Amino acid sequence: MPVINELKDLMLNIGVEERIVNEVGPEQILAGHVMDSVHYTAFIVAIEGRYGIRVTDRYALKLRTLNDFRNYINPG
Amino acid sequence: MLKTSVSNSALELLTGNLGLHPDKIAYICADKALSYSDLNKACRRFAHLLQKQGIVPQERVLIALPDCLAFPIVFLGCLLTGGVAVAVSPTLSEEELALIIDDCGARILVSLGKPAVPYYAVDEKVKVIICDDQGQVDGSYTSVELDTLYQQPSVDDIAYMLYSSGSTGRPKGVPHLHKSLLLPCDLVGKALLDIKSDDVIFSTSKFSFAYGLINSLAFPLRFGATAILHPGKPDPLAVLNIIHLHGPSIFFSVPDIFTQIILSCTDRELILPMRLCCSAGEALPAPLFEEWRRLTGLEILDGIGSTEMAYHFISNVPGRAVAGSAGQLVPGYRARLVDDYGNDVPAGREGNLLICGPTRTPCYWNLPELSAGTILPDGFVKTGDIFLERGGFYYYRGRCDDMIKSGACWVSPFIVEDALRSHPAVAECAVAVVTVGTFNRPGAFVVLLPGTKQTPALAQELMSHIMERLPDYMCPVRIRFMTELPRTSTGKIQRFKLREQFTHKHEE
């Protein structure tokens, strides 16, 4: 799961605790459990920078798990 | 000259319920509850305690309490004496608290639990009253003539004061008359939201904000409803837990919290007990309105108010909310959209919003120049917001100054820029609002010293540098390196160009 691992690296880069990053599963809800709104926005910014994509507000509300982000980055 | 006297707002809010339902619960906080009867007694005991401290009418009392049962007791107790309740967040830094004490001239500070900040011990000018989370001081009760213990205010007596952040970072005091606690109940609570005594109200916005103060103090007491108080951080799990435990019928919150609740939800639908969901503090994006309605079946009623106007002056109404709009003018208020010269803009054009209404602050405390510049001679107040009006609905289009609303809190770009400029690699910088998903956050645009390489590691270092100096909500969510910043012919930074460059527009 290379993209999932890359996303976890980004989570570490934005300051999410390493223990939490190691434990988070691809289907685990991120908001409130893993990241607060400060980390969440930083995570989106990091993803946009890393993959050269834009996360619009409409889609941002549907990105709840690492799998959701992976599918948004690599659709299809 | 004899001044006309008016109702003491605390007395009106307290006594209205005593005859109807004295044993009804006014407030719930965690596993504790406070009836209307007990609230009344506790307020009067606290008022008596303040009088024993020598409080005189119009004297300021600083209240640095979380959202717990103690707050309404202390706040209303202060108002009963004719004192001015200055409500501030208990999480203020020592420096911010010292500034406010100095500015408002408070001689008394009410705090919860054991003081932890050094200045409490050394500043002998301030008497600190420590109460517990139920407003009790030293566990003692005083037997007083409770029924007659109140001060009849005059028409221009100040009842309370809140502090609002300004562009310089120095908080500014916004005083309000007694009517500012009561009128929003009529103009919004009754006329628009139809709040009744069987309502249970839960506001994630705290008492130290104008929005939270009216939601959790004025509305429940005016209508004999019950309010749920949460002293902690409003993270989505805690908020959902409270909603499931206490079943509020009216939920007041901010766009960030609604977003976080949506993101924390795994189910295709979310069954909630509320009949009304209301939002303020920042503009509610249309996609957020639509996703919340899809998930819960409920509208979010967006509205806009200000500390200066005490509560909402534009609001959506139940059953007629328009996604992406702040709503319609609240009856009782007047609005103008003007250009930079003060002329009304043509219909359908963006303009600077001016508001006039009965809940306006008389002035900024100790700031006559700012007061004169913001509160116009005709009574209209410059809100600093840019709006478009279409079909009677108002649509937010940004700020006419450079201030940023991040997580419903004001962020001055100048404060963040000062923090950035203190890093040795930074030649110049500008901070402007950027939109990330549904969140508005500060974004930083940095020009480095000649010869300094633009690297991800340096961006991270700058981020860490700021995070050591500023609270989370002020920290830029993104740092972008530039070769130069957009400027006017006279050298002034054009932050609006940075916003336009890097903000994702909503899908139409």
Q: What is the mean pLDDT of residues A14-28?
A: 92
Give kind and range of the element (H or E) at residue A57: helix A57-60
pLDDT digits (tens, 9 = 90+) for B329-342: 999 999 999 999 99
Residue B121's pLDDT is 45
pLDDT bracket for residue B19 (50, 70, 90): confident
Q: Is A12 on the interface with B (CB under 8 A)?
A: no
**Does B268 score more than 90 pLDDT?**
no
A31/B260 CB distance under 8 A: yes
pLDDT recorded at residue B249: 98
Close Cβ partners of B369 (under 8 Å, ≥ 6 residues apart) = none
ipTM reported for the complex, 2 dp: 0.90
pLDDT given for residue B501 in this prediction: 60
Q: What's the average model confidence in pLDDT over B335-358?
A: 95
The CA R_g of chain B, rounded to the nearest whole Å, is 23
Once rounded to an integer, what is the mean pLDDT over residues B217-237? Answer: 96
| pLDDT in the model for residue B473 | 87
Q: Determine whether B156 is exposed, middle or buried from the number of CB atoms within 10 Å of its CB (0-12, 13-18, 19+).
A: exposed
pLDDT tens-place string over residues B35-85: 999 999 999 999 999 999 999 999 999 999 999 999 999 999 999 999 999
pLDDT-based confidence at residue A36 (cuts at 50, 70, 90): confident
Residue B248's pLDDT is what?
Answer: 98
- Chain B residue with CA closest to A43: the answer is B477
User: Among B169-178, B289-298, B318-327, which is the least confidently predicted range?
Assistant: B169-178
Burial of B39 (0-12, 13-18, 19+ CB in 10 A): buried
> Taking residues B254-279, what's their average pLDDT?
94
Q: At A76, is the pLDDT very low, low, confident or very high (cuts 50, 70, 90)?
A: low
Write out pLDDT tens, residues B175-215: 999 999 999 999 999 999 999 999 999 999 999 999 999 99
Q: Taking residues B418-444, report their average pLDDT.
A: 91
Q: What is the pLDDT of residue B491?
A: 84
Q: Which residue has the higher pLDDT, B197 or B491?
A: B197
Query: B400 falls in which pLDDT band (50, 70, 90)?
Result: confident
B129 CA: distance to closest CA in chain A (Å): 34
pLDDT number for residue B122: 44
What is the spatial distance between Cα B93 and Cα B98, in angstroms, rounded to a whole number? 9
Mean pLDDT to the nearest integer, B214-232 = 97
Higher pLDDT, B500 or B283: B283
Task: Tell me whether residue B277 is exposed, middle or buried, using C-beta atoms within 10 angstroms of its C-beta: 0 to 12, 13 to 18, 19 or more.
Answer: buried
Q: Tell me what percent of the residues of chain B surpass a pLDDT of 70.
A: 93
- The residue of chain B with its CA nearest to that of A65 is B263
Q: What are the structural domains of chain B?
A: 1-177 (3.40.50.980), 404-502 (3.30.300.30)
Q: At what angle do helices B286-296 and B255-263 cross, to 10 degrees?
A: 50
List CB contacts (< 8 A) between A41 and chain B. Answer: 436-437, 439, 441, 477
A50: amino acid identity, one letter: R
Give chain A's domains with CATH numbers.
2-73 (1.10.1200.10)
Is B288 in contact with A61 (Cβ distance < 8 A)? yes
Q: Which residue has the higher pLDDT, B117 or A14?
A: A14
Judged against a pLDDT cut of 80, whether residue B347 lies above it is answered with yes
Tell me the C-alpha distance between A7 and A46, whole Å: 9
| Residue B456 binned pLDDT confidence (cut-offs 50, 70, 90) | confident
Which of A34, A57, A62 best tests the B interface by mutation, with the highest count of B CBs <10 A? A57
- Cα angle B350, B356, B361 (rounded to 5 degrees) comes to 120
Determine the average pLDDT of the residues in A47-63.
88
Residue B393: pLDDT over 70: yes
Taking CA atoms, what residue in A is nearest to B291?
A61
Q: What is the DSSP letter of B188?
A: I
Q: Are residues B250 and B276 in contact, defined by beta-carbon separation less than 8 angstroms?
A: yes
pLDDT of residue B372: 96
Whether B505 has a pLDDT exceeding 50, the answer reads no
Residue B142's pLDDT is what? Answer: 58
* Lowest mean pLDDT segment, chosen from B62-76, B145-159, B167-181, B299-313: B145-159
Higher local confidence (pLDDT), B432 or B170: B432
> In b/e form, how buried is each residue of B162-197, taking b as 16+ CB within 10 angstroms?
bbbbbeebebbbbbbbbbbbbbbbebbbeebbebee
Give the model's pLDDT for residue B113: 65
Question: What pTM does this model have?
Answer: 0.91
Q: Do B285 and A55 touch (CB under 8 A)?
A: no
CA-CA distance, B431 to B480, in Å (whole number)? 10
The average pLDDT across B377-382 equals 96
pLDDT for B165 beyond 90: no
Average pLDDT of the residues of chain B: 91
Of A54-63, B81-90, B213-222, which range is least confident? A54-63
Mean pLDDT of B7-20: 92
Q: With bands split at pLDDT 50, 70 and 90, how would you rate the model's confidence at B137? A: confident
In chain A, the percentage of residues whose pLDDT exceeds 90 is 53
Given B287, B437, B507, which is nearest A41 (Cβ)?
B437
